[in-house]
């Protein structure tokens, strides 16, 4: 079973999702083990596949992160190839519309920033970390659970050290998340339709993040409250739920 290499990227972007097998093997950790950013990415990829009428064979593994060739979740298997993480699974593939992607540089930057802020929220806030470490390590035996959690925290802290160097407290991070949510809320309020039929990637990614913010238990409900204060984000979220999940 091969993995994607740098040389594969140019060919990946020309693969049409309609040529994928009808059923996709989808590997992730169990939902009760997912932290906020993992839940956002897994739900986003899941939604993208559902929108594109793919059946999903769910394969939950406590060690799925370490099965992934890049340690990114989720990962899928297509024609004996492994593709891991949102970018590799989605951004390099052509969908029904060749221009159906996140071409807006502002949106790409904003989604990436939101993901970093979600990681900070989970791993760099002492209050949230007390909850997250129990979620992340719950399916591993002692002392492996302690070791993996410590390693993961250090990895995230070092990664975000320069990206979010001015973030010294969770209040500042929540203010930035609030600004991003308000940005997308305003975007939706000015759109003719809440769900743009030509923007599968945008729809799936935005929904995945909203889903994670509403369905991850943290120290407080402040992030849920931020989402609930955005009228059009909530309408968008409920519309995706009703269209792709409640009738399944």
Per-residue model confidence as pLDDT tens digits over 23-42: 899 999 999 999 999 999 99
Q: What is the pLDDT of residue 94?
A: 62
pLDDT for residue 9: 37
Contact 22, 128 (CB under 8 A): no
Question: How do 15-16 and 23-28 pair as beta strands?
Answer: unpaired
CATH code for the structural domain at 2-94: 3.40.30
Best mean pLDDT range from 96-110, 164-178, 184-198, 219-233? 219-233
**Domain extent listing, the chain:** 2-94, 105-245
Contacts 24+ apart (CB under 8 A), 147-155: 152/123, 153/123, 153/129
d(CA 206, CA 82): 24
Comparing C-alpha atoms, which of 57, 25, 212 is closest to residue 121?
212
Q: What is the CATH number of domain 105-245?
A: 1.20.1050
Please tell me whether residue 232 adopts helix, strand or coil conformation: helix
Percent of the chain with pLDDT over 90: 67
pLDDT (tens digit per residue) in 89-130: 986 666 554 445 555 667 889 999 999 999 999 999 999 999
pLDDT in tens, 37-81: 999 999 999 999 999 889 999 999 999 999 999 999 999 998 888
Structure tokens of 114?
């939101």
- Supply the pLDDT for residue 123: 94
* Pair of tokens at residue 28: 């992730």
């Amino acid at each position: 079973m091969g993995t994607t290499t740098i040389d594969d990227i140019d060919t990946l972007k020309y693969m049409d999702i309609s040529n994928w097998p009808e059923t996709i093997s989808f590997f992730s950790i169990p939902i009760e083990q997912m932290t906020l950013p993992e839940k956002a990415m897994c739900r986003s990829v899941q939604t993208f596949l559902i929108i594109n009428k793919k059946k999903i064979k769910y394969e939950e593994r406590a060690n799925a992160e370490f099965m992934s060739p890049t340690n990114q979740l989720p990962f899928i298997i297509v024609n004996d190839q492994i593709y891991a993480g949102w970018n590799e699974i989605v951004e390099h593939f052509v969908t029904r519309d060749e221009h159906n992607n996140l071409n807006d540089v502002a949106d790409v930057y904003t989604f990436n920033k939101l993901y970093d802020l979600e990681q900070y929220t989970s791993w760099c806030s002492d209050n949230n970390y007390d909850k997250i470490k129990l979620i992340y390590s719950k399916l591993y035996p002692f002392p492996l659970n302690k070791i993996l959690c410590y390693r993961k925290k250090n990895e995230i802290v070092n990664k975000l050290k320069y990206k979010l160097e001015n973030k010294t407290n969770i209040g500042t991070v929540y203010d930035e998340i609030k600004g991003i949510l308000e940005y997308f809320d305003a975007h939706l309020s000015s759109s003719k339709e809440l769900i743009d039929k030509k923007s599968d990637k945008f729809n799936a990614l935005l929904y995945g993040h909203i889903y994670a913010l509403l369905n991850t238990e943290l120290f407080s409900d402040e992030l849920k409250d931020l989402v609930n204060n955005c009228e059009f984000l909530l309408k968008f979220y409920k519309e995706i739920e009703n269209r792709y999940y409640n009738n399944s």
